[in-house]
Structure 1
Amino acid sequence: MFNLILFGPPGSGKGTQSEKLIDKYGLLHLSTGDLLRKEIANQTKLGLEAKSFMDKGQLVPDAVVIGMINSALEANPAAKGFLFDGFPRTVAQAEALDNLLASKNSGISIVLALEVDQEELVKRIQIRGQSSGRSDDSDPNVIRARLVEYENKTAPVAGHYAGVGKVVYVKGVGTIDEIFQSLCRQIDSRK
């Protein structure tokens, strides 16, 4: 099983590249946001538990999210692999994911980290905000605050995986196809 984490700050192109990678490699897209919505809609035990936290304005605990990921893995035993999107966001989540995958005789194959400088990220997010109407994507100060939050809480996840030789940094600037080809070269060299 080939498991991939596409990593990078907001605006780095993860969403665009994820779609292309899923199509090319036949991976299942595992988005924690989608999982949460599905579990809540289906009123599963985990979904109801997650909803109770969300209704109080609280973050869903890691154990609940890991439970949902476990359910998704078990529901797709014939999958070629998974592309993890939006998870892990902390080192604790990365460790929990590693333990879950190890219990299934699997693991993360590669972490592809998109590198884009901050000014380019701000510009991309503002452009996205103009087309999406998202207010949090239009104010440069809010965008920069989100990027600081990413650097403080999420970027250390790359360090976790770098420690075991699984992180490859890929330049996230260029055309969509140039970036995609760079990502594919890294995946193909690991398969």
Structure 2
Amino acid sequence: MRIVLVGPPGAGKGTQAALLAERLGIPHVSTGNLFRDNISQGTELGREVQQILREGGLVPDEVTIAMAADRLAQPDAGDGFLLDGFPRNIAQAQALDELLGEGGHKLTAVLDLEVPEDEVVKRIAGRRMCRKNSGHVFHVEYAPPAVPGVCDVCGGELYQRDDDQEDTVRHRLELYHQETEPIIGYYREQGLVVTIAALGPVPEITQRALAALPEADAA
């Protein structure tokens, strides 16, 4: 299966991508991992991305597309993949179609994780990180610490990242609506979009997605 996962920030794409890829036996390919892997391996594309990010710029579409093409050409992606974070706009979606078409393939489905905007803001703006260990994450409503502002695990101070401030979250949502959301319409015209309600327990959302996928075995 060849799947694209889309949804706004805070929709749980990373969590669902990992779970779905494992259940379906296909690699989870995320844009963030592509960048990190190429940078850590010192590839030509990785060096280019590192320089761009160091200067505070945005990675051009052609660089992101080239990285995705290299990754999807790997043997483990021959029978399918789950893309998370790519394509991010119409130009990248068209490039992906061309790339797959060259190999005689096409996408199986585009999973659209649907979450109300107010819930997205609540999920992200309520997140608190531990200053001692960034892996210790809490939420003021959904997973509060026993003592407000104190990490249950190591006693470190909990804080809100700048990226998680409500104004920043709403700006990220605006960018999503402008740049990424249009690909849903693009793929809907191809009959590929499956919209999944992404509210509720994580396992239930995973089951909804598996049940909605063509040819998927949800067992």
Give TM-score scaled by structure 2 length.
Answer: 0.80
Tell me how many residue pairs correspond in the alignment.
190
Which secondary structure state, in structure 1, belongs to the residue aligned with residue 112 of structure 2? Answer: strand
Q: How does 1:1-191 map to 2 (within 5 A)?
A: 2-76=1-75, 79-130=78-129, 131=137, 135-189=161-215
Contact 1:173–1:179 (8 Å) recurs in 2: yes
Q: Give me the whole-angstrom Cα distance separating, in 1, the residues matched to 2:160 and 2:106.
A: 35
- CA pair 188-108 structure 1, distance change in 2 beyond 3 A: closer
Q: Give me the whole-angstrom Cα distance separating, in 1, the residues matched to 2:162 and 2:210.
A: 32
Deviation of 1:52 after TM superposition, in Å, equals: 2.7
Q: Which has the higher contact order (CA 8 A, sep 6+)?
A: 1
Contact 1:3–1:82 (8 Å) recurs in 2: yes
1:135-156 CA distances to partner (integer Å, 9 max, x unpaired)?
Answer: 1453212211111111111100
1:12-58 CA distances to partner (integer Å, 9 max, x unpaired)?
Answer: 11111111101100110111111111111111122122223222222
Compute the RMSD of aligned alpha carbons.
1.9
Bigger radius of gyration: 2
Deviation of 1:79 after TM superposition, in Å, equals: 3.8
Q: Give me the whole-angstrom Cα distance separating, in 2, the residues matched to 1:170 and 1:51.
A: 35
1:33 alignment partner AA: G
Deviation of 1:126 after TM superposition, in Å, equals: 2.2
Q: Which moved more, 1:127-136 or 1:104-113?
A: 127-136
Give TM-score scaled by structure 1 length.
Answer: 0.91
| Runs of 5+ consecutive residues of structure 1 not aligned to the other structure | none
Q: Give me the whole-angstrom Cα distance separating, in 2, the residues matched to 1:71 and 1:93.
A: 14
Contact 2:187–2:193 (8 Å) recurs in 1: yes
Contact 2:3–2:82 (8 Å) recurs in 1: yes
1:119-172 CA distances to partner (integer Å, 9 max, x unpaired)?
Answer: 111111123345275614532122111111111111001111001100011111
Q: Give me the whole-angstrom Cα distance separating, in 1, the residues matched to 2:103 and 2:9.
A: 31
Identity %: 41
More helix by percentage: 1
Contact 2:87–2:96 (8 Å) recurs in 1: yes
Which secondary structure state, in structure 2, belongs to the residue aligned with residue 30 of structure 1? Answer: strand
Q: Give me the whole-angstrom Cα distance separating, in 2, the residues matched to 1:100 and 1:28.
A: 18
| Runs of 5+ consecutive residues of structure 2 not aligned to the other structure | 130-136, 139-158
